[in-house]
Amino acid sequence: MNYLVDFGLLSIVRIFLWALLLMFVVFSLVVVRQVQLMSQVLTVPISGGLKLVALALLVFAVGIFIISLAVL
């Protein structure tokens, strides 16, 4: 499929989805950074679990983005 010639609705949707998934990855990076800053300010027993959940969100976001590059 030649992407330079065949630029139809499917290509527009594909680019839009990649942009949304890339924004989700950036959002996940912001969440990880915010959890790190929160853990430095507040020392609570649950901060380790929150860090783990934030990192899991980041891994999920990057994984979904990579899979979308292969599938779409």
Output the pLDDT for position 4: 56
With a cut of 70, say whether residue 55 has pLDDT above it: yes
Which of residues 3 and 14 earns the better pLDDT score? 14
Say yes or no to pLDDT of 57 above 60.
yes
Residues near 4 by Cβ (< 8 Å), separated by ≥ 6? none
Question: pLDDT at position 2, please?
Answer: 57
pTM for the whole structure:
0.83
What confidence score (pLDDT) does residue 70 get? 93
Whether 24 has a pLDDT exceeding 70, the answer reads yes
Mean pLDDT of 37-56: 92
